Amino acid sequence: MQDNNQTNEHVYFLNQLYRDFLLPEILGDDNNAILYWAGKRIARHYALSSFDDLVEFFETAEFGTLTKVKERRSSITFELSGQNIVDRLNSDSKEFSIESGMIAEVVQKETDRSTESEITILDKEKKVQILARFG
């Protein structure tokens, strides 16, 4: 169990290092927009084309547990949860643009409709909600 915890801490540290420090320094004011489009590109690169693909990728990348919480005619609401999310929110990391872009890309592939997504931080619940709207 110790090795797994050390691995998780290492992955968390690396994610925090690049996402919360390095990339914002390099990208400046364009950080969120560039990371959103990078997320879309990642989804295309890894040929993620379904919700199940996303769930597996998020688990592998330690992005958190992804669940679909509501589906409507023109949108789908997702939630990101788990210890990774709690730790990131507790450290004031509010950057979830990569995940948002990946979700938008996969929903667009599944629905064959142009899709954009937006992020809402649920501070009390220590979760992140991502709403994918398609036209």
> What average pLDDT does range 70-85 have in this prediction?
96
**Confidence (pLDDT) at 129:** 98
CB atoms within 10 A of CB 27: 14
pLDDT digits (tens, 9 = 90+) for 4-18: 666 666 666 777 788
CA distance to 51, 61, 74, 112, per residue, from 8 (Å): 24, 10, 36, 36
pLDDT digits (tens, 9 = 90+) for 23-59: 989 999 999 999 999 999 999 999 999 999 999 999 9
Global pTM reads 0.90
* 110 has pLDDT over 60: yes
